[in-house]
Amino acid sequence: MARVSFAAVKRVGIALGWLLLFAAIAIGVTIGLSEIVPGWGGPRWWIARTGAWTAIGFGLATLVVGRLLNKYAWEGMGWTRAAGLALARGTAIGAVMAAVAIGLAVLFGARLRFTSEGSIWAGVAVPLILGLGFAALGEELGFRGYPMRRLSDAIGVLPATLLLAALFGLAHVGNPNATVFSTINVALAAIWLTIAFFSSGGMGLAWGAHFGWNAGLAILFDAPVSGYAFAVPVVEYVPGTRAWIDGGAFGPEGGVVTTVALLVGTLYLLTRPSAFSRQPPIESDSVPPSPEGRGGQGVRTA
C-alpha cells in the first residue's frame, strides 16, 4: 500500500487555503462592486460592467494574495514584458479558431445571413468588445494566472490543469441552453488556454486567445457565446438542425465543430517552439526560495 507523504499533504492543504482566500477576495470584491456602483450605461453596457467588476475583483485578489502575501513575481504569474504582443497574437489565434468553428458549422447546415442594420453596429459592438475583453481577463485571472501556478506547484502541472479545467466547465453549467457536450467543450477550452498560459506568451497569450475566440464568435458572426446571444447587427448566425454538430442554441461551443477547432488550436500551440520554453521565476528576486521549493519549476511543460 502506497504511503502518502505528510509533507505533500501539507503542501496541498496550504495551497488550497491560499486559493480559498484568493477566491473569497475576488468574489467578494466583484459582488461588492456590482452592488454599490450604479448601473451606468443601461442594458447595452451590462457585459462591460460585469466584466469590469470581475476583472477588478480577480486582479485585486492576484495583487493581494499572489504578489503581496505569497511574494510571487508578476512574471511567475504569467505577466511577461511582451504581454502586449502576446495579447495581440492570442487574439488573432482565437479569432481564426472561431472562424474555423463557424466555417465547419456552415458546412454542415448552419447559415450566415446579412442584415441591413449596419448603422447601429458600433453602438452594439463597442460595449460588447470591451465587455468580452474584461470578462476574458477576469476568467483568465481566476482560472490561470496565480491559481494555476499555485496549484501546479502543489500537485503538478497536469493534475492542476485537469482540475481547473473541470471547474471551468462546471462554472458554465448554469449558462442558458448548456448541455453535457457544451460543458466538455468548455473544459477542453480551459486546457487549450492553459497550454497558452504555460507558453512563453503567458497570461497575455491566454487572455488574447480567450478574447479572440469570444469576440470572433460574437462580433464577427453574431453567434452565441457560451449560451448568451448578443444580437450584433450586419451578420447573423443561424444554427442548423443538428445541435450536436453546430451547438444549437448554446452556440458553436455546444457542438463538435468547437471540439475540432479546439483540438486544432491545441495542436498548433503544442507544436510551437515556445510551448516548452523556460518559465520565469515564480518568486520575486528579493525573496529567498521557500522550503516548499516553489522556484523549482524551471521548464514549461506545455
Q: What is the pLDDT of residue 286?
A: 40
Cα 101 from Cα 63, distance rounded (Å)? 36
The residue-averaged pLDDT of 196-207 equals 95
Tens-place pLDDT, residues 27-61? 999 999 988 887 777 778 889 999 999 999 999 99
Under the banding of pLDDT at 50, 70 and 90, the label for residue 280 is: low
Grid cell in block for residue 90: 492570442
Task: Write down the pLDDT at residue 292.
Answer: 40
Cell of 94: 482565437
Q: Where does residue 199 fall: left (phi above 0), alpha (psi -120 to 50 degrees), or beta otherwise?
A: beta
The DSSP output letter for 72 is B
Q: Whats the size of the chain, residue-wise?
A: 302
Q: Is the pLDDT of residue 119 over 80?
A: no
Amino acid sitting at position 66: G
Amino acid identity, position 152: S
DSSP bridge partners of 237: 112
Q: Could you tell me the three cell numbers for 224?
A: 452565441
Ranked by mean pLDDT, the top range of 69-78, 118-127, 271-280 is: 69-78
pLDDT tier for residue 24 given thresholds of 50, 70 and 90:
very high
Q: What confidence tier does 283 reach under pLDDT thresholds 50, 70, 90?
A: low
**Angle CA 178–214–212, to nearest 5:** 150
Instruction: Calculate the average pLDDT of the chain.
Output: 89
Compute the average pLDDT of residues 189-218: 96
294, pLDDT greater than 50:
no
pLDDT attached to residue 233: 86
Q: Is the pLDDT of residue 188 over 60?
A: yes
Q: Give the number of other Cβ atoms within 10 Å of residue 228's Cβ.
A: 14
- 8 Å CB contact between 191 and 259: no
b/e for 166-192, b at 16 or more Cβ within 10 A? Answer: eebbebbeebebbbebbbbbbbbbbbb
Q: Report the candidate in 223, 220, 47 with the shortest Cα–Cα distance to residue 131.
A: 47
Lowest mean pLDDT, pick from 71-80, 82-91, 227-236, 271-280? 271-280
pLDDT tens profile 246-255: 999 999 999 9
What pLDDT was estimated at residue 190?
98
pLDDT, tens digit (0-9, with 9 covering 90-100), for 68-80: 999 999 999 999 8
Percentage with pLDDT > 70 across the chain: 90
Percent of the chain beyond pLDDT 90? 75
Instruction: Answer whether 184's CB lies under 8 Å from 171's CB.
Output: no
Confidence tier at 122 by pLDDT (50, 70, 90): confident
- Please give the full DSSP string across 171-235, using - where no structure is assigned: TTTTSTT--HHHHHHHHHHHHHHHHHHTSTTHHHHHHHHHHHHHHIIIIIH---BTTB----SSE
CA-based angle 90:92:93, to the nearest 5? 65
Range 168-189 average pLDDT: 96
pLDDT at 8: 80
Is residue 279 very low, low, confident or very high in pLDDT (cuts 50, 70, 90)? low
CA distance linking residue 92 with residue 14, whole number of Å:
38
Alpha helices, DSSP H, located in the chain: 6-36, 46-61, 83-107, 121-143, 145-155, 157-170, 180-197, 202-215, 221, 243-246, 256-270
Q: Give the integer Cα–Cα distance in Å for 285 and 281.
A: 8
